[in-house]
Chain A
């Protein structure tokens, strides 16, 4: 697991809450910092890809581990 600056637990939350919480968390971070997100919503995999593409933030990693979806997003 790569290093990260902040962690967001979005487990148990459904669309669109993981994205909205991530957006809020990124808003409080500075450019270049990395946010680690833990989600259980299977839809979040595609959604975080789309989120990164549209906001310019970099989706560094997206993986599934023990029924959880883990993401690393670097703030642009």
Chain B
């Protein structure tokens, strides 16, 4: 088996951007990689026990909108109150229908595969986040902690 290493920095806390770190980490682990993810800034949302991730059509012209909404309500339509919840619900339903794993499921698989997850201590302090809200089995550290592993990684990604 390979003894390769993958290091990822996860910086985004939206439903859509939660996927790349967890899909790549779980797959890499299945391929025999040793994997570490460093969660910083909004990426810390991905470590919460209770995931409340949303996807926003606001400022995202690449997002396919249902019923050609983007055609009838360009830009401003995406800012209508409630639009974010609607889009999040629709995205979740679509993912379920297409057999795409939930973020929680992928995160569990990463955990099972011993993917090491590190929460950025500085951001935890900055946003006054409560470490008790995070899942068990994670570590807290800083930039130097990331480099300790990333310095020897074969692949390093910033998501």
Residues of A within 8 A of B (CB): 12-17, 19-20, 23, 40-41, 51, 54-56
Contacts and interface: CB of A to CB of B under 8 A. Distances in A.
Interface in B75-122: 98-101, 109
Nearest to A41: B99
Interface string B1-12: 110000000000
Contacts of A20: 26-27, 30, 109
> Which 6 A-B residue pairs are closest in the complex by CB-CB distance?
A23-B30, A14-B99, A16-B27, A12-B99, A13-B99, A54-B31
A17 B101 contact: yes
> Main secondary structure on chain B at its contact with chain A?
loop
Interface residues of B, number: 13
Contacts of B109: 20
A23 B100 CA distance: 18
A20 B1 CA distance: 16
B23 interface: yes
12 contacts: A13-B99, A13-B101, A14-B99, A16-B23, A16-B30, A16-B101, A17-B99, A17-B101, A19-B30, A20-B27, A23-B30, A55-B2
A68 to B, nearest CB: 14
Contacts of A13: 99, 101
A68 B99 CA distance: 15
A19 B27 contact: yes
Nearest to A47: B27
A53 B27 CA distance: 14
A55 B1 CA distance: 5
A14 B31 CA distance: 17
Given A12-B99, A51-B31, 11 more contacts: A14-B101, A15-B23, A16-B23, A16-B30, A16-B101, A17-B99, A19-B30, A23-B30, A55-B1, A55-B2, A56-B1
A70 B27 CA distance: 20
B151 interface: no
Contacts of A19: 27, 30
B27 A14 contact: no
